[in-house]
């Protein structure tokens, strides 16, 4: 926050409230390998509200975690993580907002950064994924999501959050894990088109290696937090029981990171007022863990 050397910034002060609460040494833009883009957007949400407060809650919670990852044995932040200012909301409509996200993410990729997009509603993933597809044309998308998100249009918009994976699947192959909620038309569409989507029990039968087999070398991860069981993550707009647990998500991420190159990712749909603060903490730790897994490669 204070790059000016004239500003007091000794040990009497807390670090600035960026992602990880990192000192300038590890958060300055120039030397950071990673940029975190907060997108406080939830204008198309049709259910319960509040994911626009998700990025701020994740960043706030990120100061409450240790920066050493005991399971991986290293400190991912040392690669440098810069947190951009929050993206301003485009209220003209969701198509315009998706365009804005795509352009900003694209610029950061072009600047050589590894981009982490924090939602906001899942719609933000459309812009972020598109930007990555343009840079990595052969990538595949691994989607964590409880809902099919395969509607062609919803509430009069093709960029409603309920259309997210439909839009992404139009530009890259998608493998979905965690599904347990869909309308009949979406489900039929998934089956007819031969999409690969796995309910949690199906995923457990399949295992992480077989799932990873279906991904190309470059992988973009899009993570709607409702993929987690609602006991693990209640602070989402459509919490669902019967979902994934922390250790199985963690194992899958490790497998994918070991065998593929994660080129970018998003974590979306945290609506902090709908659950305990522990949910923001989990989202922060998940974000940091994926950064670590991706950079370790």
User: CB-wise, 54 or 133, nearer to a copy of itself?
Assistant: 54
Stretch that binds a copy of itself, among 8-16, 170-178, 209-217, 260-268 (CB under 8 A): 8-16
Stretch that binds a copy of itself, among 51-59, 168-176, 216-224, 262-270 (CB under 8 A): 51-59
210 binds a copy of itself (CB under 8 A): no
Angle between helices 54-62 and 277-296 (to 10 degrees): 70
Contact between residue 46 and residue 159 where contact means Cβ atoms under 8 Å apart: no
**Residue selected from 80, 178, 208, 239 as contacting a copy of itself according to rule CB under 8 A:** 239
**Residue selected from 33, 67, 135, 206 as contacting a copy of itself according to rule CB under 8 A:** 67
DSSP H or E segment with residue 264 = strand 261-268
15 binds a copy of itself (CB under 8 A): yes
Contact between residue 42 and residue 120 where contact means Cβ atoms under 8 Å apart: yes
72 binds a copy of itself (CB under 8 A): no
Q: Is 54 left (phi over 0), alpha (psi -120 to 50) or beta?
A: alpha
Sign of torsion, CA 265 271 272 276? negative
Torsion of CA 132, 135, 139, 140, to 10 degrees: 20
**Number of residues binding to a copy of itself, judged by CB under 8 A:** 103
Please give the angle made by the CA atoms of 281, 15 and 109, to the nearest 5 degrees: 70
What number of residues does the chain have? 297
Neighbours of 230 (CB within 10 A): 17
Stretch 94-133: interaction string toward a copy of itself, x if CB under 8 A: xxx---x--xx--xx-------------------------
CB neighbours of 193 closer than 8 A, spacing ≥ 6?
none
**Residue selected from 25, 68, 207, 258 as contacting a copy of itself according to rule CB under 8 A:** 68
6 binds a copy of itself (CB under 8 A): yes
**Residue selected from 171, 196, 250, 296 as contacting a copy of itself according to rule CB under 8 A:** 250
248 binds a copy of itself (CB under 8 A): no
Contact between residue 149 and residue 166 where contact means Cβ atoms under 8 Å apart: yes
Query: Hey, which residues between 180 and 209 contact a copy of itself (CB under 8 A)?
Result: 180-184, 187, 199, 201
14 binds a copy of itself (CB under 8 A): yes
User: CB-wise, 94 or 292, nearer to a copy of itself?
Assistant: 94
User: How are strands ordered across the β-sheet holding 34-39?
Assistant: 81-83, 34-39, 114-119, 261-268, 218-224, 140-144, 174-177, 196-198
138 binds a copy of itself (CB under 8 A): no
User: CB-wise, 108 or 140, nearer to a copy of itself?
Assistant: 108
4 binds a copy of itself (CB under 8 A): yes
């Amino acid at each position: 926050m204070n790059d000016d050397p004239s500003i007091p910034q000794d040990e009497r002060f807390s670090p600035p409230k960026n992602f990880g609460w990192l000192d300038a040494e590890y958060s300055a833009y120039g030397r950071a390998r990673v940029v975190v883009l907060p997108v406080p957007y939830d204008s198309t949400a049709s259910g319960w509200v509040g994911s626009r407060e998700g990025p701020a809650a994740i960043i706030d919670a990120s100061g409450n975690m240790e920066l050493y990852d005991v399971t991986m044995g290293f400190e991912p932040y040392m690669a440098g993580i810069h947190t951009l200012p929050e993206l301003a909301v485009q209220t003209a409509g969701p198509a315009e907002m998706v365009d804005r996200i795509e352009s900003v993410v694209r610029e950061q990729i072009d600047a050589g950064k590894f981009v982490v997009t924090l939602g906001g509603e899942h719609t933000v993933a459309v812009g972020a994924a598109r930007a990555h597809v343009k840079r990595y044309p052969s990538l595949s998308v691994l989607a964590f999501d409880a809902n099919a998100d395969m509607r062609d249009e919803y509430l009069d918009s093709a960029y409603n959050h309920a259309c997210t994976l439909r839009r992404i699947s139009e530009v890259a192959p998608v493998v979905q894990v965690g599904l347990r909620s869909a309308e009949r038309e979406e489900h039929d569409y998934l089956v007819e088109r031969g999409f690969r989507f796995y309910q949690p029990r199906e995923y457990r039968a399949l295992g992480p290696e077989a799932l990873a087999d279906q991904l190309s070398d470059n992988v973009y991860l899009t993570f709607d937090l409702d993929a987690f069981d609602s006991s693990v993550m209640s602070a989402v707009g459509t919490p669902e029981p019967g979902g994934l647990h922390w250790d199985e998500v963690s194992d899958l991420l490790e497998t994918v990171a070991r065998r593929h190159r994660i080129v970018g990712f998003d974590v979306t749909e945290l609506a902090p007022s709908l659950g305990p603060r522990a949910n923001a903490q989990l989202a922060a730790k998940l974000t940091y863990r994926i950064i670590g897994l991706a950079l370790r490669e």
